[in-house]
Structure 1
Amino acid sequence: MGGAVAAGLGLGFLAVLVIVLWISSPYPDSGPGGALHLAAGLWLLAHGTELVRYDTLSGLPAPVGMTPLLLVALPVLLMRRAARLGSAAEEDDEEVLPAGAVLSAVLCGYLAVGALVTVYAAGGPMSADPISAAWHIPLVAVLAAAGGVWGARGRPLGPLPSWLPGGVRKAAARPRYALALRAGAGGALVLLGGGALVVGASLAWHGAEVQASFLSLTGVWSGRFAVLLLALALIPNAMVWGAAYALGPGFALGAGVTATPLGFPGAPALPRFPLLAALPAEGPGTPLTWAAAGVPVVAGLAVGWFAVRRAREVSYGETALTAALGAVVCGLAMAGLSAASAGPLGSRRLSEFGPVWWTTGVAAFAWTAVLAVPVAVAVHAWRTRPAIGPAVGGADGDAEADGDGVVGVDDRWHDSGVREIRWAALRKAAGALVPDMAGSPPEPPAVPVVAVGPVGPVGPEAGAGAGAGAVVRGRRAVTVVSALDLDLDPGLLAAGAAGPGPVSVPLAPPVVGARVLARRKPPPE
């Protein structure tokens, strides 16, 4: 029932829209039956089904296969909503149906209505091609219903089905594939946005021609409203065409006519329509049309940026491979969109309209791969560059490294009062386990250790007598132990603090403590 209702809602919306335009038209050329047949044809066209128009001036059947991509959103959203409702439980204790059962049930209801609509549209002015309807309607329904079931399950990214080979499941779980999908999707979105920018700029440049074409089609408001709705439904197609134009292959405007940035030979058989009035002028390309090449350049940079992982252990080869896979995803996405946005508008000269899917896909892959791989490697090298700390040591501000090669921090930072606040916070968090040693600035602990012995300047004799518990780093010496005895005598701590050597304390189970470093006083002026 959910699938049947989703199909009925989409068909009813288009039927109401067509009936309203038919009623408001001052010169209707058919009755209500013709309007309903037209609504059924539009519903099939929204699924990508090719329609055939028999009432032509030449008497030859004319196919209509260009699908307005914005019209596809209507059945997709309704079918996705039906699948989500079927996957949700109405009561808290109600059992949720399996995903396969929901998917098959919703598809059965939707495809049953689709078969009836196909048979009904055969008696109208534009009947559906049975072979085209037999695979376009199930394809759209399956993809939309699968998206609805996946969304109702919380959009899980795994695990993959158990019937897949183990090697495939392990390979798909690698982070590179998720990053490649993100990078490819980002590149495709940049191309579509650039295509919209190209189309918008051309519409503004040819504003007078676009306005004249819109006003000359019809003189009544209902006809102009219908033309406006059709132009809005074709805006996503125009975005894909603009992206194909910027990539270089361009788009076909009839048999043997292609518009590219390098030139446009002209197409005298074009129908009068506002979007087609924004085509570039006939003749060779100009620097203004060549500037469209900046769109794929930005897309390649976007793919390279999104293909970089924020991890230092990733190699440069892995980053380059991820960027190349992102370019492949971008090319596949643009090839699919180009195939969906193109189609015939008639016979003979109007049999080819839109970009060629394989040339657009290859061009998108080539542009993004050439730019994304070096950009991704450069961004990865920049993000994993060695950290450079502030200068320490003398008055000249030169950096001074510790004995293990770690760049230290200027001791003047400890004179700002921040060290007392941090040390108090550490003591409060550790309770009574950390002795009160005023004047010893803390450092973020790498291991849970606590200093209990005396510290001081390090020299040749100090490094030799520090003992096993002393850590010598550059000009500092820190005596550490791995744990504290909870029953340690306070007198022992006092004696150790005053004595010349480190204090041996009994070991206890490890506790959370803090590393304490000695403050090296600046040399006298």
Structure 2
Amino acid sequence: MTQVTERGTPLPAAPRAGRRRRSPAAAACVMGGALAAGLGLGFLAVLVIVLWISSPYPDSGPGGALHLAAGLWLLAHGTELVRYETLSGVPAPVGVTPLLLVALPALLMRRAARLGIGSEEGDEEVLPGSAVFSAVLCGYLTVGALATVYAAGGPMPADPLSAAWHVPLVAVVAAAGGVWAARGRQLGPLPSWVPGGVRKAVARPRYALALRAGAGGALVLLGGGALLVGGSLAWHGAEAQASFLALTGVWSGRFAVLLLAVALIPNAMVWGAAYALGPGFALGAGASATPLGFSGSPSLPRFPLLAALPPEGPGTPLTWAAAGVPVVAGVAVGWFAVRRAREVSYGETALTAALGALVCGLAMAGLAAASAGPMGSGRLAEFGPVWWAVGAAAFAWTLPGVVVAVAVHAWRNRPVAVAADAWHDSGVRELRWEALRAAAGGLIPDISTPLPAPASAPPVAEPAPAAAPVRVLTVVPAVGPDLTVPPAAPPPLVPPVVGARVLARRKPSA
């Protein structure tokens, strides 16, 4: 019903409650995304300022340190930086991203998306997931664009084309993960615009098992890579210590080198996994390290993690033993691909294991691409593993997990023989019954001996039919106990007591 004023003009429609609440919620989501980017920038800015203050020979003012912090924040998203101050005068790109730094913006962005899903009033949803995703992404990318412009005036500016797709990529993945976690980590249903056949296929449990199997294989490869790097560092401990001490002589510089080495530990794990898979990694143009040998003559700077490299020359049985890591990864893929249910066929189990190997290959290819990049121009233009070779090797090594999965499936579904009770075994029951009968002293009859057959009664001659008519009598049972039931046996008599003496009862005295 339309409301009108006294003059007859209609009153304006009152805004809906949903609109009143969604507008502040959208603004809060935008501010949340901007705050997530600002927190990451602030953390790196504080760290760089502390190192700049503690440095005995600062080569720039606080403005240069803040520009460097903005560049490092962009590097944490995978953006390539450009270093202009080189000996040759040619700008050198720096594209190796410390993977541990990526965790900082990813976690902040994920938290902002999760907080945007629910309001503070009883966790009631104000915006749909797509709106929260778009709003948080808008705020984050706005700060990212400002940081790119600000870092352009520093000693290591960011490449605009690289920042244009690396920063949105990290933000999109982190925001999507936050919305998915706030929704309860649902694997379905997919949006309505996805074809129905695809929605039904993804809803099958084989894809969740394939993701679990692929993740298990990738984690085994990364763990094996960490083991190889740690063992090599322990083997070359003296060289690593010498390179660490030779870089700088002040504690602030050594602290910065230590932080950089810690941030590069995930990269070293991926490189170790690539080395165990076979393709290895490049150390510049024409130099590569594989289990079969270390070819080329790389010109590497002094750095503690680089001391873990194998010696130059052909491989040895010790380096060939690294192939055990992908073998264990293939076993892990096959183990995690087996379902507990017994109604699954062998073909379904084999298909799940094959999909798990594919997931493992894709995951390792993505990690290899993220951990590699140029460290300069010329001979250092190629640094790290080749992503497509690492992905193909991971798939090839883990594909035999299909055989492991089928074998585990057959073992879990094998027929199990149920052991019989010892009391019902042949002969045991009869022996125990005979022992009980002997201990009873003849009270229990011997059932092993068959009873004699009763003597056959003589045949009774049938009476001749009477000529007189037979009167039919109907017998009505009397009301009383059922006479067809045999009476119960009388209780046994108490035997007399021999030698008992009966005394007369005396009257009490008055």
TM above 0.5: yes
CA distance 1:213–1:391, shift in 2 (3 Å): same
**Shift of residue 130 of structure 1?**
0.8
CA contact (8 A) 2:106 2:170 kept: yes
Whole-Å separation in 2 of the counterparts to 1:221 and 1:116: 34
CA contact (8 A) 2:101 2:263 kept: yes
Q: Does 1:135 align with 2:165?
A: yes
Q: Identify unmatched segments of 5+ residues in structure 1.
A: 399-409, 416-490, 496-525
**Shift of residue 157 of structure 1?**
1.9
Q: Does 1:16 align with 2:58?
A: no
Structure 1 residue aligned with 2:267: 237
Whole-Å separation in 2 of the counterparts to 1:56 and 1:95: 54
Q: Does 1:80 align with 2:110?
A: yes
Query: How big is each residue's C-alpha offset from its partner over 1:217-236, in whole Å with a ceiling of 9 and x where there is no partner?
Result: 00000000000000000000
SS state of the match for residue 161, structure 1? Answer: coil
Query: How big is each residue's C-alpha offset from its partner over 1:126-160, in whole Å with a ceiling of 9 and x where there is no partner?
Result: 11111110111011011111111111122222111
Q: Does 1:168 align with 2:173?
A: no
**Shift of residue 169 of structure 1?**
0.7
**Shift of residue 275 of structure 1?**
0.4
Structure 1 residue aligned with 2:406: 377
2:295 alignment partner AA: P
Indicate which of 244, 249, 258 corresponds to 1:228: 258
Whole-Å separation in 1 of the counterparts to 2:320 and 2:373: 26
**Shift of residue 94 of structure 1?**
4.7
After superposition, residues 507-522 of structure 1 pair within 5 angstroms as none
Whole-Å separation in 2 of the counterparts to 1:109 and 1:93: 22
Whole-Å separation in 2 of the counterparts to 1:329 and 1:387: 34
Whole-Å separation in 1 of the counterparts to 2:80 and 2:69: 15
Q: Does 1:357 align with 2:387?
A: yes
CA distance 1:397–1:239, shift in 2 (3 Å): farther
Structure 2 residue aligned with 1:89: 119
SS state of the match for residue 93, structure 2? Answer: strand
Structure 1 residue aligned with 2:357: 327
Query: How big is each residue's C-alpha offset from its partner over 1:362-389, in whole Å with a ceiling of 9 and x where there is no partner?
Result: 000000002x011001000000111211
Query: How big is each residue's C-alpha offset from its partner over 1:317-340, in whole Å with a ceiling of 9 and x where there is no partner?
Result: 111111111000000000000000
Whole-Å separation in 2 of the counterparts to 1:184 and 1:21: 41
SS state of the match for residue 128, structure 1? Answer: coil
Query: How big is each residue's C-alpha offset from its partner over 1:69-128, in whole Å with a ceiling of 9 and x where there is no partner?
Result: 000001001111111111122012854211111111111111011001101111111111
2:397 alignment partner AA: W
**The structure with more radius of gyration:** 2
CA distance 1:315–1:25, shift in 2 (3 Å): same
For these two proteins, the number of residue pairs brought into alignment is 405
Indicate which of 174, 179, 198 corresponds to 2:228: 198
Whole-Å separation in 2 of the counterparts to 1:158 and 1:59: 55
CA distance 1:93–1:102, shift in 2 (3 Å): closer
CA contact (8 A) 2:118 2:125 kept: no
2:108 alignment partner AA: L
Whole-Å separation in 2 of the counterparts to 1:172 and 1:95: 27
Structure 2 residue aligned with 1:438: none
Structure 2 residue aligned with 1:148: 178
CA distance 1:119–1:316, shift in 2 (3 Å): same
Structure 2 residue aligned with 1:484: none
Query: How big is each residue's C-alpha offset from its partner over 1:223-260, in whole Å with a ceiling of 9 and x where there is no partner?
Result: 00000000000000000000000000000000111100
SS state of the match for residue 157, structure 2? Answer: strand
After superposition, residues 257-272 of structure 1 pair within 5 angstroms as 257-272=287-302
CA contact (8 A) 2:286 2:296 kept: no
SS state of the match for residue 52, structure 1? Answer: strand
After superposition, residues 352-431 of structure 1 pair within 5 angstroms as 352-370=382-400, 372-391=401-420
Whole-Å separation in 2 of the counterparts to 1:117 and 1:397: 87
1:48 alignment partner AA: G
CA contact (8 A) 1:392 1:411 kept: no
CA contact (8 A) 1:179 1:306 kept: yes
CA contact (8 A) 1:391 1:397 kept: no
CA contact (8 A) 2:64 2:155 kept: yes
Q: Identify unmatched segments of 5+ residues in structure 2.
A: 1-30, 434-480, 486-510
**CA RMSD for the aligned pairs?**
2.1
**Shift of residue 394 of structure 1?**
9.0
**Shift of residue 198 of structure 1?**
0.4
After superposition, residues 276-315 of structure 1 pair within 5 angstroms as 276-315=306-345
CA contact (8 A) 1:11 1:40 kept: yes
Higher RCO structure, 1 or 2 (CA under 8 Å, sep 6+)? 2
